[in-house]
């Protein structure tokens, strides 16, 4: 074979390998995962993805198909904020920011998706979004004497904003389980079985053993109560 034909054959082999690699590549994941839409509440974020969600494992793992990816919500300074998972179905997921005040939720935020590895690579970032302004009655939650009563329950005290028992403030009455949402320390939602008021507050019982050092309790009622959240005990 003449020497001048070898470079031509090398180029042809390279092109064949390149075409073969491209045709075999799974171009549906991960690089086609996109954030199609986002909608916010006062402390909630609902995201619609371009792929169907197989599973979300808190904290911060989302599965599309059979592949795991990391996700995170960040503020304008790229500081990650802690979120709990309210619910998900099909290609939509709703998260709630825990432990942040109205002032701390001001500004722009983004949600990112990254590869699930020790040195993750961001493959998608949402457009910037902002949370809605707080409205409704604002309350303070306290855990004075509110240690976990057992593995399945916690005592919660709700006072007017800034109030507490040591100042002689009476706790807010008339609430029920629809006002409260519980999460473990990873942000996984804990089902609430019941919320029983008493002279000393609300005893919230969970549908499953919380088996954790503490739990997050979120207080919120649409068109009525401004969101508040804190860890107990």
The confidence band for 155, taking pLDDT boundaries of 50, 70 and 90, is confident
Indicate if the pLDDT at residue 35 is higher than 60: yes
The residue-averaged pLDDT of 145-155 equals 65
Average pLDDT, the chain: 85
Rounded distance, CA 187 to CA 16, Å? 48
Residue 138 and residue 121 in contact, taking contact as beta carbons nearer than 8 Å = no
pTM of the model: 0.84
51-70 pLDDT tens trace = 999 999 999 999 999 999 99
Predicted confidence at residue 86, as pLDDT, reads 98
93-122 pLDDT tens trace = 999 999 999 999 999 999 999 999 889 999
Predicted confidence at residue 14, as pLDDT, reads 45
Predicted confidence at residue 149, as pLDDT, reads 55
Predicted confidence at residue 11, as pLDDT, reads 44
> Which positions ≥6 away from 169 have C-beta within 8 Å?
159, 160, 163
């Amino acid at each position: 074979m003449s020497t001048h034909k070898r470079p031509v054959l090398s180029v042809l082999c390279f092109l064949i390998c390149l075409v073969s690699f491209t045709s075999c590549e799974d171009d549906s994941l991960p690089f086609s995962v996109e954030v199609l839409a986002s909608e916010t509440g006062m402390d909630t974020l609902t995201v619609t993805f371009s792929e169907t969600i197989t599973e979300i494992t808190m904290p911060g793992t989302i599965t599309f198909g059979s592949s795991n990816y990391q996700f995170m919500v960040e503020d304008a300074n790229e500081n990650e904020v802690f979120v709990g998972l309210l619910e998900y179905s099909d290609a939509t997921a709703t998260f709630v920011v825990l432990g942040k005040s109205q002032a701390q939720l001001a500004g722009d935020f983004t949600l990112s998706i990254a590869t699930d590895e020790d040195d993750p690579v961001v493959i998608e970032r949402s457009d910037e979004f902002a949370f809605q302004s707080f409205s409704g009655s604002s309350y303070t939650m306290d855990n004075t004497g509110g240690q976990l009563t057992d593995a399945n329950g916690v005592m919660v005290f709700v006072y007017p904003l800034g109030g507490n028992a040591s100042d002689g403030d009476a706790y807010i009455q008339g609430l029920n389980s629809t006002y409260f949402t519980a999460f473990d320390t990873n942000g996984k939602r804990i089902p609430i079985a019941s919320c029983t008021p008493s002279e000393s507050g609300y005893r919230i019982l969970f549908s499953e053993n919380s088996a954790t050092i503490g739990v997050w309790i979120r207080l919120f009622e649409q068109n009525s109560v401004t969101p508040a959240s804190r860890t107990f005990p």
